[in-house]
Amino acid sequence: MRYRALAVLGGALALAACSTTGGSRPAKSAKASDASGEAPYASTYRAYPGAPTALVGATVYDGAGGRIDKGTVLFAGGKVVAVGGPDLPVPSGYTKIDGRGKFVTPGVIDIHSHLGDYPTPSVEAHSDGNEATSPTTPEVWAEHSVWPQDPGFSRALANGGVTSLQILPGSANLMGGRTVTLKNVASRTVQGMKFPGAPYGMKMACGENPKRVYGGKGRAPSTRMGNFAVNRQTWIDAKEYAAKGSSADREKRDLAKDTLAGVLDGDILIHNHCYRADEMALVMDMAKEFGYKVSAFHHAVESYKIGDLLKENGVCSAIWADWYGFKMESYDGIPENAALLQQAGACVVIHSDDENGIQRLNQEAAKAQAAGRRMGVEISDAEVVSWITLNPAKAMGIDAMTGSLAEGKMADVVLWNGNPLSVYSRPEKVWIDGALMYDSGDPKRRPVSDFELGQPGEGDVK
Amino acid sequence: MNRLLKLPLLALSAALAAQAVPAAAQDFIILNAKLAIGDGSEPIDNGMVEVRDGKIVAAGPMPSGAPFETGTVYDAKGAWVTPGIFAAITDLGLVDVGGVDESNDTRAGKSPFNIALDVSTAINPAAQDIGVSRAGGVTRASVSPLPGNSIFAGQGAIIDLGADPDAVTMPRAFQMVILGEGGARLAGGSRVAANVALRNALREASEFASGTWESEAALLTRADVAALVPVIRGEQKLYIYVERAADIRAVLAMRSEFPKLVMVLVGASEGWMVADALAAANVPVIAEALDDLPAKFEQLAATQSNVGRMVAAGVRVAIGGMTGTEQPRNAVQYAGNLVALSKVPRASGLSWGQALASITSVPASISGLGGKLGSLTPGAAGDVVIWDGDPLELSSAPLLVFIDGVEQPVDNHQTRLRERYRDLDESDLPKAYD
């Protein structure tokens, strides 16, 4: 079982996270497959005010694999205006920030988080990530579980520079439900955090979790072959529903099949929790059988065994740097996974699935890079930064809007006090859509959850 | 033997001795090291370490002139050299796969025994976790049982991670007891019940020690009460898992009632709020470095600055809690993060030397093995690691690991998989033949 270190002494249970109970992934366009044609629970997110800002003199990793020394990053009106070298002129009216000796990256993106649906405090009353009452629950939506007051969002921002994240249902179920992509901006409502225009995802899960959860209840699936049988029948039924054409034609609305039809229509992205290489290969064939695409395998600790297949199928691997051995299907995890995938030309995303790990995605990426270097696979710092920025954005279908520092994209920007791939570095300032949402030098410029008000440690550095 | 083969990345110049190198512990000297003793001091350039008969005999600045009478000389050429990492509170040697119950000996919820449970009887030196941790520079660890059906989890051990059959450095090094929310659950539903359970057990042990224990009226089994006697006599440490500031104060208050108890607090997420009292009581702490979430109501004030604030107040603090996905090989990362905090406004971190000490000499000293483990000081075990960079940095890894002066293999299941899948070429034979 996955559990947290000392807390396990006190009986902490692994409530959260797909690593124990199952997992999957997000979708493609916010309009997907709702009968009315209008997105329900629509995003009410709005960018907060920001000043035109020039970050000058820092080392810039643009998230797309580019590096600029003594770079200049300009943003205004919530968007990146220009990125260039020391010769890029700073227009008048911009607040200049001296970035010498510092580093700039796009905001970090976590493709796999349970903040909000397994929030802290991790009490049973907060256990909202697994609708473990049926092996297929495509009808549930993670956003209906997300508690925006989860204190974890603030830690991810201040310590991890995380500006966007995908919240998934857990992995108890073969089909766990819709994911939701959020901006990491505190809000009274989940709608106020929803990433405008982000596609939905649907979480799926292979392997041990669904068969254990439902086998334990004396029902299907109780085996891996049972997992596939239940999935395939569900897709067959969904295809019939989807064949009715546009959502308006689907007379008797079925919430579960709405989601599945959205996947088959290409509007909802599949995020598939899957550890073992052989199972991933089977899932890719199942996707072909029914005409959908897997956007990313999550927790894919054995991806390095099939880098060629993953490249050929255009499927990303969302992985930890070095987790292994906490369950049978994680036994073959190795720290060189990311580097071997990169070497094979496959897409690498470093993910957390953890309210602590989300605070250190940069560090996890750095460890994975170093493991590669020691076996002779050299991957540049700039490319490694893409593992936690542009690559997750691509797999989540938001790369046209964020994930790299390119003109016109959202000004989701982190100024680090040193190289983000060093253990000694932390975010100094974080902007989301051009608004300064965290400043390590300003005790007021950090979010404090309602839950923490009046509690010991309120507003502490954390 | 040709040391060049052993240390290709260092490009060492090896001076070979006339004498044959002993099969077990070898005598050697490491020269030109960026040397960190592990005692809290900052690293020095041009350092040396001498190991003889498995023990450190000297470590410090390079002496001038005198010839060495040692078998093997490593020229570190400026590489970092530290004591081996001491990982506090692990499950090393008790687990093959955490989630596979039959391979996991960490807890025994259906056993009639608890205090008497002794993990040293079950350590598997060939466990993959031990090999993987060893390759990460971890040379010693404390191993703790997890609680089954009592606030007493049982007796933990100190082990070495050497590739040999003899893993246990110190059996029965401590008794682990769980208070706070977890203790409340184990004791029947409340902290109040845990308090009575603890005091009753200590009282029964006192009676047992004085020959007045009556088994008919007792709640503890004979094996359990007997196992608690060393604790009440102060001969075995009592590790107390506790998080909340109020619970810590209550534990400290017990010292007047049971003055012989040698306490170590484990967890202590809110320790910073009572740091002065901890320092005054001289009660050390094994804490997680980076806990900063109110994961439980007893951890509302958790912050990454906890360790730094406690150390600043004079508390001896080791970083610990490396089980499950919190792997012992990442102890260096946790320590490095505490150095990072020293650059964050309002945060409290550690100096580099303090951070290394928190995963070497301090956990050794808290274990009762100060001076014998965890630092490069004369008389200490020859647990030495040569690194390819700053050991606390994410990009670094060990080049050579010695335990008791014996160079250790660093291959394991993971390294074998890495080599098999270095490429995906199966044109001649399946991967299973690689």
In tens, the pLDDT along A236-277 reads: 999 999 998 766 667 688 999 999 999 999 999 999 999 999
Length of chain B, please? 434
pLDDT at A18 over 90: no
Q: Nearest CA to A90 among A62, A56, A49, A50?
A: A56
* Residue A147, pLDDT above cutoff 50: yes
Answer with the residue of higher pLDDT: A25 or A291: A291
Task: Report angle CA A152, A155, A160 to the nearest 5 degrees.
Answer: 125
A102 touches chain B (CB under 8 A): no
Candidates A307, A320, A331; nearest CB to B424: A307
Contacts of A2 in chain B (CB under 8 A): 98-99, 324-325
- CB of A453 within 8 Å of a chain B CB? The answer is no
Q: Are strands B15-16 and B72-75 parallel, antiparallel or unpaired?
A: antiparallel
Residues B139, B84: Cα–Cα separation, whole Å: 5
CB atoms within 10 A of CB B112: 10
Q: Are the beta carbons of B325 and A19 separated by less than 8 Å?
A: yes
A159-180 average pLDDT score: 98
Residue B343 and residue A122: Cβ atoms within 8 Å? no
CA distance linking residue A347 with residue A396, whole number of Å: 13
B345 at A interface, C-beta within 8 A:
yes
Run of H or E including A68: strand A67-76
Q: Would you call the peptide bond into A199 cis, given omega within 30 degrees of 0 as the criterion?
A: no
Cα–Cα distances in angstroms (integers) from residue B11 to residues B5, B75, B77, B386, B389, in the given order = 9, 8, 8, 13, 14
The dihedral of CA B423, B428, B433, B434: what is its sign? Answer: negative
Helix H or strand E encompassing B231: helix B222-232
Q: Inspect the interface and report whether the beta carbons of A327 and B100 lie closer than 8 Å.
A: yes
Crossing angle of helices B222-232 and B191-209, in 10° steps, is 90
pLDDT at residue B9, as a whole number: 33
Mean pLDDT of all residues belonging to chain A:
93
Number of other residues whose CB lies within 10 A of the CB of residue A354: 25
Contact list in A for residue B363 (CB cut-off 8 A) is none
Beta-bridge partner residues of A183:
A164
Q: Tell me whether residue B269 is exposed, middle or buried, using C-beta atoms within 10 angstroms of its C-beta: 0 to 12, 13 to 18, 19 or more.
A: buried
| DSSP SS3 for A84 | strand
Q: Are B130 and B164 in contact (CB under 8 A)?
A: no
For B259-306, give the DSSP string: TT--EEEEE-TTGGGGHHHHHHHT--EEE-SS--S-SSGGGTT--TTH
Q: Which is it for strands B285-287 and B55-61: parallel, antiparallel or unpaired?
A: unpaired
pLDDT at B68: 63
Tell whether B368 lies on the interface with A, counting CB pairs under 8 A.
Answer: no
pLDDT for residue A246: 66
**A441 contact B CB<8A:** yes
Task: Say whether residue A354 is in contact with chain B using an 8 A CB cutoff.
Answer: yes
Tokens 């600790």 label which residue? A301
- The token pair that represents A313 in the structure block: 């199928």
Rounded Cα distance between B247 and B241, Å, is 10
| C-alpha distance across the termini of chain A, in Å | 27
Which residue, chain included where needed, has tokens 């070298």?
A85
Sort strands B28-35 and B80-83 into parallel, antiparallel or unpaired.
Answer: parallel
Q: How many residues does chain A have?
A: 462
DSSP structural state of residue B324: B
Residue linked to tokens 């699935």: A353
From chain A residues 379-438, the ones with a CB under 8 A of any chain B CB are 417-418, 421-426
- In the block, tokens 């796009």 appear at A106
Cα A440–A183–A400 angle (5° rounding)?
A: 115
| Cβ-defined contact of B99 to A327 (cutoff 8 Å) | yes
Mean per-residue pLDDT, A194-199: 98
CA distance, residue A220 to nearest chain B CA (Å): 21
Cβ-defined contact of A422 to B393 (cutoff 8 Å)? yes
Residue range A362-387: mean pLDDT, rounded: 98
Residue with tokens 């052993």: B6
B325 in contact with A at a CB cutoff of 8 Å? Answer: yes
Question: What pLDDT is recorded for position A226?
Answer: 98
State mean pLDDT over A228-234: 98
Q: How far apart are CA B263 and CA B258, in angstroms?
A: 10
State what percent of residues in chain A have pLDDT above 90: 89
CA–CA separation, B411 and A12 (whole Å):
33
Return phi, psi of residue B58, to 5°: -160, 145
**Distance between CA atoms of B387 and B400, rounded to whole angstroms?**
7
In sequence order, which ranges of B7-103 are alpha helices (DSSP H)? none
B114 touches chain A (CB under 8 A): no
Residue A366 with chain B: CB contacts under 8 Å: 394-395
B179 → chain A, closest CA residue: A10
Binary contact (A462, B303; C-beta < 8 A) = yes
Cα–Cα distances (Å) from B234 to A423, B172, B261, B264, B316, in that order, read: 40, 13, 5, 12, 19
Burial readout B416-433 (b: 16 or more C-beta within 10 A, e: otherwise): ebbeebbebeeeeeeeee
* pLDDT at residue A31, rounded to an integer: 45
Q: Is the dihedral of CA B303, B305, B310, B313 positive or negative?
A: negative
Secondary structure (3-state) at A366: helix
No. of helices (H) and no. of strands (E), chain A: 11, 17
pLDDT of residue B18: 35
- Note the helical H segments in A73-201: 152-160
Distance from CA of B47 to the nearest CA of A (A): 24
* Section A80-96 average pLDDT: 98
Residue type, B222: R
Q: Do B292 and A340 touch (CB under 8 A)?
A: no
* CB-based burial label for B217 (10 Å; 0-12, 13-18, 19+): exposed
Mutate to test the interface with A, among B421, B422, B425, B431 (most CBs of A within 10 A): B421
C-alpha closest to that of B382 among B374, B391, B394: B374
Q: What are phi and psi of A454, to 5 degrees?
A: 75, 5
Q: Where are the alpha helices (DSSP H) in A243-360?
A: 255-264, 277-290, 307-313, 337-343
Strands of B128-226, DSSP E = 138-143, 152-160, 168-178
Helix (H, G, I), strand (E, B) or coil at A455: coil
Residues of chain B with pLDDT under 50: 1-23
Q: Considering only CB atoms, which chain A residues are within 8 Å of B138?
A: none
Nearest to A164 by CA among A328, A4, A361: A361
**CA A131 distance to own-chain centroid:** 20
Question: Rg (Cα) of chain B, in Å, rounded?
Answer: 23
For residue A229 the two structure tokens come to 């049988």
Predicted local distance difference test score (pLDDT) of residue A248 = 63
- Cβ contact (<8 Å) for A307 and B245? no
What is the dihedral sign for C-alpha A144, A150, A155, A158? positive
Biggest distance spanned by C-alpha atoms of chain A: 69
User: What is the β-pairing status of strands B285-287 and B317-322?
Assistant: parallel
Residues in B touching A8 (Cβ below 8 Å): 146, 323-324
Q: How confident is the model at residue A10 (pLDDT cuts 50, 70, 90)?
A: confident
